[in-house]
Structure 1
Amino acid sequence: MFEIGQISHPGRKRLLNEDTYDLDASADVAIVVDGMGGLDGGDVAGAFVRDYLRRALLQGDSPSDALRNAGQALRIQRPQQGASPSGASAIVACFSDKGLDLAWIGTCRAIFSDGRQYRNIVSDAETKGLLKSGTANAIQALGVTTTDKLCISEARLTLKRGESVLFCTDGMLEACTAAILESSLCDSRLSAQESVEMLLMHALRGEANNNMTALLLRLS
């Protein structure tokens, strides 16, 4: 069984929160989306991607297929015009007590913690050869990058009791130092919800220029 923490905030400088997320514990599906494109752009694109991913995963699509198809659907739904296109980065997971199947594109990230230390799953997957496709995807976005050029990365994690995975947008990571991440994710006295609230509290003490979203799954 997973203990869950979840939080989202527009940050200190932006009125609009283009981040969004979805979690269906009964269906073992987690989604975090970072929209881009500004007013009537990023928030709309992010919501579209979130809802599409949820439907696709519940219908049995793999995380990577769900992302790829969401990007194509968004390009059809919102054709890009002008110099400020709308799109989204995203990370999705299908999880169970046996582990998590992850896929991500763009700037969303996943952080693993064993209760003593943490590591970025992207970097860890690169080191251990767990990625099934390219990793140079930070500047890519669903709805902007053409389907045949999408660079979707995948990894599978097996969790033990007390271990956790944090899914977050880049705004949260930018606003939190390594020390804050360690104290928030590796303190066994904190519940999953308290952990993400602590991340946000520390982030808001700084500039917090971007939207910030965090979703934490801890195997209990």
Structure 2
Amino acid sequence: MNSVALSFESFGVSHRGCVRELNEDSYLVEPETGLWVVADGMGGHDAGEIASASIIDHLATIGIASSAPDLRARFEDRLTRANAEIRRISESRGVTIGSTVAALLAMDGRFACLWAGDSRVYLIRNAAISQISKDHTEVQELLDRGMISAAEALTWPRRNVITHAVGVSDDIVIDFQQGEILPGDIFVLSTDGLTAHVTDAEIEAAAVSATPQAACEDLLQTVLARGGTDNVTIVLVKIGDGRNGQSLRPDLSRAEG
């Protein structure tokens, strides 16, 4: 466990973009509970907005956990409740609706990322950006199987087809990664409206050169200037050495047994 006292500074923005009439994205910035989330709804009409909002509304009720296992249990419980609510809405409307989710939990020198769909979590460390999450998309599966190249993936006609999302089935498929946090780390959570217009290198450059608020606003303006073909949501979390910002809460590790 990292013995250095850590702190964080975070900010989030969301915009409908230049083409869409409705913003079906939602996000949550809850530093008091060590939780940051983005969600990208889908389903047509206003159903996508309802799906992403359901996820955020349920996760916002987590409150202050008594322990790391309690926090993880609360997160999973709220996401399960959101999934059930979205399923009920789908059945009542006779359509399939759902939402991606990408979440960061950060406590006591540790981080945990959980996601479903193609919303992403990036980590910028030592002047290098890496994608912590892995897209749940048809094109990613083809890449993993070696059936298409990275260059082909950029123009693949079904590159935005999502293979996992909250609300589309009774069971939720969530991937998970965890690790140690170091002072100077920067986490970026985003929906695909950002990565459709901005490269990883540009995300890194914006994030390291400004405060979370300024970086989020700069990235948003870049997306809009380039046409903003989708809703865009960005949440940025900068890790300090504990002298400024709010302290990170207890370890996220799940208890054994």
Give the TM bin, normalised by the shorter chain: 0.7 to 0.9
Q: What residue in structure 2 maps to residue 193 of structure 1?
A: 213
Cα displacement string for residues 113-133 of structure 1 (whole angstroms, at most 9, x for unaligned residues): 01511011125xxxxxxxxxx
Give 3-state SS (helix, strand or coil) of 1:34's partner: strand
One-letter amino acid of the counterpart of residue 217, structure 1? V
Larger Rg: 2
**Of 10, 14, 18, the match for 1:4:** 10
Quote the offset at 1:43 in angstroms.
0.8
Structure 1, gaps ≥5 residues long:
124-136
Q: What residue in structure 2 maps to residue 74 of structure 1?
A: 86
Q: Is the 8 A contact 1:111 1:120 kept in 2?
A: yes
One-letter amino acid of the counterpart of residue 181, structure 1? I
Q: What residue in structure 2 maps to residue 219 of structure 1?
A: 239
Q: Is the 8 A contact 1:196 1:214 kept in 2?
A: yes
For 1:140 and 1:74, how far apart are their aligned partners in 2? Answer: 14
Cα displacement string for residues 70-94 of structure 1 (whole angstroms, at most 9, x for unaligned residues): 3233213442654x52211111232
**Of 29, 32, 52, the match for 2:35:** 29
One-letter amino acid of the counterpart of residue 72, structure 1? A
Sort the Cα spacing of 1:80 and 1:120 in 2 relative to 1 into closer, same or farther, 3 A. farther
Per mean C-alpha deviation after superposition, the further-off stretch among 13-22 and 84-93 is: 84-93
Cα displacement string for residues 143-196 of structure 1 (whole angstroms, at most 9, x for unaligned residues): 11331xx32100113211111111111111112123312311233xx1111111
TM-score normalised to the size of structure 1? Answer: 0.82
1:139 is aligned to 2:163? yes
Per mean C-alpha deviation after superposition, the further-off stretch among 137-146 and 32-41 is: 137-146
Q: What residue in structure 1 maps to residue 115 of structure 2?
A: 104
For 2:48 and 2:71, how far apart are their aligned partners in 1? Answer: 25
1:163 is aligned to 2:175? no
Give 3-state SS (helix, strand or coil) of 1:79's partner: helix
For 1:57 and 1:112, how far apart are their aligned partners in 2? Answer: 26
For 2:121 and 2:63, how far apart are their aligned partners in 1? Answer: 18
TM-score normalised to the size of structure 2? Answer: 0.71
Q: What residue in structure 2 maps to residue 174 of structure 1?
A: 196
- Give the RMSD, CA atoms, in angstroms: 2.2
One-letter amino acid of the counterpart of residue 146, structure 1? D
Sort the Cα spacing of 1:85 and 1:78 in 2 relative to 1 into closer, same or farther, 3 A. closer
Sort the Cα spacing of 1:2 and 1:153 in 2 relative to 1 into closer, same or farther, 3 A. same
For 1:209 and 1:115, how far apart are their aligned partners in 2? Answer: 32
